Amino acid sequence: ALDREAFSAQALERLRPKPLRDMLEVDASDPIAVVGRSKAVDEATLRALSSIVSGPRSSPEQRKRWPVSLGQDPIIKATSSGDRLVLRFRCEDDVKVWCWKMAHQVFANEGAGLLYTQNVSFEYPCAPTNLSRLFRYVSEGVVSADASGTLVLAASDRTLAYPDAEYGFEGELLSRWVARTVGRL
């Protein structure tokens, strides 16, 4: 039996938040973003996410506005590492351009949240809120690939409500939101 002090010490240790790094870090040497803890994500869903996560091709005019010059659009691959959903980048400049491209070209300056990155010195890498939410739904198994390789709602459809319905989408069906968000990519 534990005495009162030992019990209190154990309880406090369990309640103490673990550093984000300990919760999300994966063994990798390339630039990555860990976009969530996940259930096992199947290969078809990872392929479907990889096929769209880089976003649409940028025009020469759009490329002129990028924060760094690249010879081509960033190429990102969705993978899993243990229970983590991971985006893998070719280089740090891909991280910079991808974050800018998602925020300014694809998701038109909507709110954004920080990404947990590894092997990247670029400060404040962000992803737009709706893109982060799509990553969360993929990591939770709510969104997965269908037989044609398209990301679709895999769970029961429902009407979006706060906090999942920012930017005025309250009342929208989740299936419609998923199709619209995937369509933007």
Pairing of strands 151-153, 116-118: unpaired
pTM: 0.81
Residue 34 three-state SS: strand
State the pLDDT confidence band at 61, using cuts at 50, 70 and 90.
Answer: very high
Q: Where are the alpha helices (DSSP H) in the chain?
A: 4-15, 20-24, 43-53, 60-64, 92-101, 129-140, 174-184
Closest CA to 45 of 15, 17, 80: 80
Torsions phi, psi of 14, nearest 5?
Answer: -70, -35
Terminal-residue alpha carbon distance, the chain: 57
Pick the range with the lowest mean pLDDT from 62-76, 97-111, 126-140, 154-168. Answer: 154-168
The whole-angstrom separation of Cα 184 and Cα 166 is: 17
Percent of the chain with pLDDT over 90: 43
**Under 8 Å between Cβ of 134 and 146:** no
Q: What is the mean pLDDT of the chain?
A: 85
